[in-house]
Amino acid sequence: VVAPERVDDQLQAALDGLRERASDVYLHLDLDVLDPSVGRVNEYAAEGGLTGEQVARAIAAIGERFRIRAAAVTAYDPTIDTDGKIPEVAFRLMSGIAAAAQARAQVPA
């Protein structure tokens, strides 16, 4: 577990530790990890979340270390996203997941 305020300085080490025990992952991204300044994804979105760039870096770091076998992107309620910001952010993040999964799929375990 890495707290949102520590993701930039602790995520790499946490992933390296996990890599010692696993080579494949299921990546589950709840969009309400995003800070509301990025956009309101649902009623549970809370201040202090991650930026889209931080999530994208996390996805890339996961893809560098693990084979992504499956992924889900969840927790979006369009009735809460009154500014309509989230679809673009979600699309970029899903594209990042697909690219990370594809790149690692070509590397033998």
pLDDT of residue 1: 86
Ranges of residues in the chain whose predicted pLDDT is under 70: 106-109
Distances (CA, A) of 106 to 29, 40, 43, 59, 74: 23, 36, 39, 17, 27
- Extract the runs of DSSP E, i.e. beta strands, from the chain: 24-30, 67-74
The closest alpha carbon to 27, from 97, 99, 108, 102, belongs to: 97
Query: How far from the centroid of its chain's Cα atoms is residue 29's Cα?
Result: 5
pLDDT of 104 reads: 75
Give the model's pLDDT for residue 108. 60
Distance CA 90, CA 37 (A): 14
Q: In this structure, what token pair is assigned to residue 63?
A: 């893809």
Residue 27, Cβ neighbours under 10 Å: how many?
A: 18
- The answer to whether the beta carbons of residues 35 and 77 sit under 8 Å apart is no
Question: pTM value?
Answer: 0.92
Q: What is the pLDDT of residues 1-20, one digit of tens each?
A: 899 999 999 999 999 999 99
Per-residue model confidence (pLDDT) at position 109: 55
